[in-house]
Amino acid sequence: MILSDEQRMISDMANSFAMSELRPHAEMWDHEKYMDRAVLNALGDLGFGGIYSREEYGGSGLGRLDAALIFEQLSRGDISHAAFLSIHNMATWMVDSFGDDQLRAKYVPGLTATRLIASYCLTEPGAGSDAASLKTTAKLDGDEYVLNGAKIFISGAGFSDVYVVMARTGDGGAKGISTFVVEKHAPGLSFGKVERKMGWRAQPTAMVNFDDCRIPTTNLVGKEGEGFRFAMAGLDGGRLNISACALGGAQDALDRAFAYVKERNQFGRAILDFQATQFKLADMETELSAARALLYDAAVKLDAREPDATKFCAMAKRFVTDTAYKVANDALQLHGGYGYLADYEVERIVRDLRVHQILEGTNEIMRVIVAREMMKD
């Protein structure tokens, strides 16, 4: 795909920030399990806090392809911070797209500027892939909703300022689910212990608990019963974002591997000179190029609201994240024993990329979506 001059400029700007502000600190953030709010604020200053949110309240008004370019480049610096920003963008877009004018005016300016940070709360201990079976409830009580239940695996739990929460206001199934904005200090809101994770260690991940948590009725997003539709609409773009982060991380791993094999000597010559190494690098480059083409194609379809956009978003998420993990693992293998050491940073990339095959819908669920869309046709 041929990018416009503006898109190349956006991509270059994100790459420059990644190389100067993210990459030098990524290993430290991972080791210390530290999410740098100042970095998120700086990304907001660049217009990356509301990439595809509307300009009225500070959004950049860009498209999904633009967002993919940005997250791809940021992830070449640090996957964990880039992926967290992608979740913030998804939550911000949901409030901006489906909230009324009062709710948008209240929250969106702070979110797009990253003065407020948002988390997305859908998954529950008993409702993962079957998200429509969620049990968290929101009961109307005068001019407030009272929430009870729990969410699990929430990126930014305890760190974020606002939480975009899917809760049940009606009968069982998808049509009984609504979406709410819950502030961090709402009475009855609490957070579980920070989880110990394989990857994404810079991000705090924990349960979000609602115990008679009270919020004003004005914090309902859209109308009652529309929340599941909002959540699924958010996930189409979220899957592209997560795929872009996987692609950027894998590209970083490939770049590191290529630099290593040029310098590493065995049997009297650089291991790059061996045909087996060259073939492996050629396969990695080809696979990432194919993944990039599918991702960009899916983003264009989502921007154009093509009828097969959901299918292509699922296809891209499945293919790109599987491919990215394989390429990163191959990059580690090219490093030999050094790849297993934290100092070379490839093992961090492998750890970070593993979850991309799980979140925003597992890759098995992506296959279900693709097959379902094929059978519709």
CA 324 to CA 250: how far, in whole Å? 5
User: Catalytic: which of 183, 285, 360, 364?
Assistant: 360
Residues 6+ apart with CB under 8 A from 183: 161, 162, 163, 189, 215
Residues 6+ apart with CB under 8 A from 312: 294, 297, 298, 301, 302, 306
CA 97 to CA 91: how far, in whole Å? 10
Concatenated DSSP letters of 217-271: GGGEESSTT-HHHHHHHHHHHHHHHHHHHHHHHHHHHHHHHHHHHHH-EETTEEG
Dihedral, CA of residue 156, residue 71, residue 90 and residue 30, to nearest 10: -10
Partners of residue 178 on adjacent β-strands: 167
Partners of residue 270 on adjacent β-strands: 265
| DSSP-derived secondary structure letter, 338 | G
* Coil/strand/helix, residue 365: helix
Active site includes 360? yes
Token pair of 241 as six digits = 């974002």
CA 338 to CA 182: how far, in whole Å? 45
CA 249 to CA 241: how far, in whole Å? 12
Closest CA to 48 of 116, 118, 113, 115: 113
CA 94 to CA 104: how far, in whole Å? 10
CA neighbours closer than 13 Å in the CB half-sphere of residue 99? 24
Residues belonging to the active site: 360
